[in-house]
């Protein structure tokens, strides 16, 4: 059986059409493959770009999928330990129903994080977290300072209130002293009352000086005479504690320009510290000299001195090693020195014991 020439012809045409279509299909496939490659490169690029943006964000970002598994995390989130699906879940639960933009504070690995949660397409959740540890520390400090300032005002008001009746007590004590001049036993008891009143007065003056801004009222006075007067005033404290007061030479008047009330408080603070440092008794030696445009008070005692471990801190407010100390004495000495344009310091001494200097400009004496 021979083939019909008409059939052969139509077969040939069909084959040729098939070839043409195959060619077109191959070309279309090649074009599609190229397009797919281009899109995939583009996708990779935008993925890299997005990761770059995510990684360089200063806040932590965590994205979880619809089932709650973590899908995306940036470097900051890994560093802060916030790359945790449970944390995102808990934050989302707590913030749900709250207005958009609401944030939540959470302690994570010793840091304080401020968290925000937002829904994203595909049932995803985006959590952002900022490290606000330092900010929160500063806020807590500011709140503490506010409370302290309030307490300072209260302390100052109380100190003023206590000072008035105390002044009255001191006057009556001195009147009683005269009345009881020949009753030695009662006088001795009165001495204890008087030194108690002095101690209260001393603490109150420290509180008032600490809470107020020290503004010296400068006047010219004999510093050596002031030292002698204070030694006389504090003789009860010295006697009771078996601490021998010594005025180191040179003698004779030395006129200075300063606030005598403040200098008096400096000397009293030094006396109180020297007495406290020598519970078995000892000595307190004070001198005042003028050299090179400066007036320098030196205070020495025979106590154990100040250990190297606390030297740096003794002038800090509230630093104390005493059970009932307020830690205000030396900080006030320092404050007064500065208010006079001078300084206070602990100086090394050859022997045991502490030696302090209080040095102020001599202001043309
Ligand atoms: P406070 O007397 O209430 O403790 P201060 O500011 O006057 O406060 O003193 C701070 C600390 O410095 C004292 O607790 C003590 O440890 C130390 N210090 C001060 N003066 C002396 C001293 N003369 N000898 C030894 N230590 C001292």
CATH number at residue 75: 3.30.450.20
Considering the domain architecture, whether residues 148 and 291 belong to the same structural domain is answered as no
Distance 279 CA to ligand 1 centre (A): 13
Residue 31 pLDDT more than 70? yes
Section 288-314 average pLDDT: 92
pLDDT at 258: 95
pLDDT at 60: 93
- Our answer on whether the CB atom of 302 is closer than 6 Å to any ligand 1 atom is no
Instruction: Give the DSSP H or E segment for 146.
Output: helix 133-179
Considering the domain architecture, whether residues 178 and 273 belong to the same structural domain is answered as no
How far apart CA 103 and CA 309 sit, in angstroms, is: 44
Query: For 314-324, how does the pLDDT look when each residue is reduced to its tens digit (9 = 90+)?
Result: 998 889 999 88
Distance 16 CA to ligand 1 centre (A): 110
Considering the domain architecture, whether residues 94 and 107 belong to the same structural domain is answered as yes
Considering the domain architecture, whether residues 157 and 20 belong to the same structural domain is answered as no
Considering the domain architecture, whether residues 350 and 229 belong to the same structural domain is answered as yes
Section 127-155 average pLDDT: 84
- Our answer on whether the CB atom of 330 is closer than 6 Å to any ligand 1 atom is yes
For residue 328, give the ligand 1 atom closest to its CA: 6
Section 177-206 average pLDDT: 87
Of 153, 183, 212, the domain-final residue: 212
Mutation probe of ligand 1 site: the residue of 268, 273, 329, 333 with most atoms within 8 A of C-beta: 273
pLDDT at 283: 97
For residue 316, give the ligand 1 atom closest to its CA: 6
How far apart CA 191 and CA 183 sit, in angstroms, is: 12
Query: For 263-281, how does the pLDDT look when each residue is reduced to its tens digit (9 = 90+)?
Result: 999 999 999 999 999 999 9
pLDDT at 350: 58
pLDDT at 349: 58
Report how many domains make up the chain. Answer: 4
pLDDT at 365: 53
pLDDT at 198: 85
Distance 135 CA to ligand 1 centre (A): 34
Of 131, 154, 182, the domain-final residue: 131
- Our answer on whether the CB atom of 38 is closer than 6 Å to any ligand 1 atom is no
Q: 190-194, 210-214, 258-262 — which is least confidently predicted?
A: 210-214
Instruction: Give the DSSP H or E segment for 287.
Output: strand 282-291
Considering the domain architecture, whether residues 245 and 125 belong to the same structural domain is answered as no
Mutation probe of ligand 1 site: the residue of 314, 326, 336, 348 with most atoms within 8 A of C-beta: 314
Token pair in block for residue 266? 């400096």
Token pair in block for residue 56? 């360089």
Considering the domain architecture, whether residues 33 and 94 belong to the same structural domain is answered as no
Token pair in block for residue 165? 């009746």
Q: Are 309 and 321 in contact (CB under 8 A)?
A: no
- Our answer on whether the CB atom of 361 is closer than 6 Å to any ligand 1 atom is no
Instruction: Check residue 59 and report its DSSP letter.
Output: S
pLDDT at 290: 92
- Our answer on whether the CB atom of 331 is closer than 6 Å to any ligand 1 atom is yes
Considering the domain architecture, whether residues 102 and 162 belong to the same structural domain is answered as no
Q: Are 335 and 325 in contact (CB under 8 A)?
A: no
Confidence of residue 207 (pLDDT cuts 50, 70, 90): confident
Residue 285 pLDDT more than 90? yes
Give DSSP secondary structure letters for 171-191: HHHHHHHHHTTT-HHHHHHHH
Of 83, 101, 131, the domain-final residue: 131
For residue 326, give the ligand 1 atom closest to its CA: 3
Q: What is the CATH number of the domain that holds 258?
A: 3.30.565.10
Report the candidate in 203, 205, 298 with the shortest Cα–Cα distance to residue 249.
Answer: 298
Query: For 81-102, how does the pLDDT look when each residue is reduced to its tens digit (9 = 90+)?
Result: 989 999 999 999 999 888 878 8
Of all residues in the chain, the percent with pLDDT exceeding 70 is: 98
Q: What is the CATH number of the domain that holds 199?
A: 1.10.287
Considering the domain architecture, whether residues 257 and 145 belong to the same structural domain is answered as no
Report the candidate in 354, 349, 315, 351 with the shortest Cα–Cα distance to residue 335.
Answer: 315
State yes or no: cis peptide before 250, omega within 30 of 0.
yes
- Our answer on whether the CB atom of 326 is closer than 6 Å to any ligand 1 atom is yes
Report the candidate in 322, 203, 217 with the shortest Cα–Cα distance to residue 268.
Answer: 203
How far apart CA 253 and CA 288 sit, in angstroms, is: 10
Residue 39 pLDDT more than 90? yes
Considering the domain architecture, whether residues 91 and 47 belong to the same structural domain is answered as no
For residue 310, give the ligand 1 atom closest to its CA: 16
Q: CA angle, corner 104, sides to 101 and 106, nearest 5?
A: 155
pLDDT at 318: 85
Closest residue to atom 23 of ligand 1, CA basis? 274
- Our answer on whether the CB atom of 320 is closer than 6 Å to any ligand 1 atom is yes
Residue 228 CB burial class (10 angstroms; 0-12, 13-18, ≥19): middle
Range of the domain at 260: 216-365
Considering the domain architecture, whether residues 352 and 250 belong to the same structural domain is answered as yes
Confidence of residue 30 (pLDDT cuts 50, 70, 90): very high
- Our answer on whether the CB atom of 223 is closer than 6 Å to any ligand 1 atom is no
Higher pLDDT residue, 348 or 336? 336
Beta strand pairing call for 282-291 and 294-301: antiparallel
Report the candidate in 305, 309, 310 with the shortest Cα–Cα distance to residue 348.
Answer: 305
Considering the domain architecture, whether residues 229 and 355 belong to the same structural domain is answered as yes
Distance 149 CA to ligand 1 centre (A): 24
State if pTM tops 0.85. no
Q: CA angle, corner 285, sides to 346 and 278, nearest 5?
A: 75
How far apart CA 103 and CA 94 sit, in angstroms, is: 10
- CA separation, residue 226 to residues 84, 220, 221, 255, 282 (Å): 70, 12, 8, 10, 22
């Amino acid at each position: 059986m021979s083939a019909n020439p008409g059939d052969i012809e139509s077969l040939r045409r069909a084959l040729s059409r098939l070839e043409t279509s195959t060619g077109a299909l191959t070309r279309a496939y090649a074009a599609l493959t190229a397009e797919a490659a281009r899109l995939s490169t583009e996708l990779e690029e935008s993925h890299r770009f997005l990761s770059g943006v995510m990684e360089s964000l200063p806040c932590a970002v965590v994205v979880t999928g619809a089932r709650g598994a973590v899908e995306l995390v940036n470097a900051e989130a890994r560093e802060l330990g916030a790359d945790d699906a449970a944390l995102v879940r808990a934050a989302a639960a707590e913030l749900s129903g709250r207005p958009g933009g609401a944030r939540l504070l959470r302690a994570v690995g010793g840091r304080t994080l401020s968290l925000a949660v937002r829904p994203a397409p595909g049932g995803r959740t985006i959590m952002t977290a900022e490290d606000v540890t330092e900010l929160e520390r500063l806020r807590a400090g500011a709140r503490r300072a506010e409370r302290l300032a309030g307490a300072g005002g209260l302390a100052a008001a109380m100190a003023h209130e206590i000072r008035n009746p105390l002044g009255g007590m001191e006057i009556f004590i001195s009147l009683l002293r005269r009345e009881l001049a020949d009753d030695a036993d009662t006088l001795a008891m009165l001495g204890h009352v008087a030194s108690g009143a002095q101690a209260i007065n001393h603490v109150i003056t420290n509180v008032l000086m600490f809470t107020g801004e020290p503004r010296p009222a400068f006047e010219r006075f004999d510093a050596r005479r002031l030292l002698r007067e204070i030694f006389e005033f504090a003789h009860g404290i010295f006697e009771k504690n078996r601490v021998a007061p010594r005025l180191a030479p040179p003698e004779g008047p030395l006129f200075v320009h300063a606030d005598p009330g403040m200098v008096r408080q400096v000397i009293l603070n030094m006396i109180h510290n020297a007495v406290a440092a020598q519970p078995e008794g000892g000595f307190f030696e004070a001198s005042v000299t003028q050299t090179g445009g400066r007036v320098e008070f030196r205070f020495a005692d025979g106590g154990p001195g100040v250990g190297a471990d606390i030297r740096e801190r003794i002038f800090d407010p509230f630093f104390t090693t005493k059970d009932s100390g307020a830690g205000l004495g030396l900080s006030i000495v320092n404050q007064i020195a500065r208010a006079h344009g001078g300084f206070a310091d602990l100086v090394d001494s050859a022997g045991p014991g502490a030696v302090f200097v209080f040095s102020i400009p001599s202001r043309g004496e």
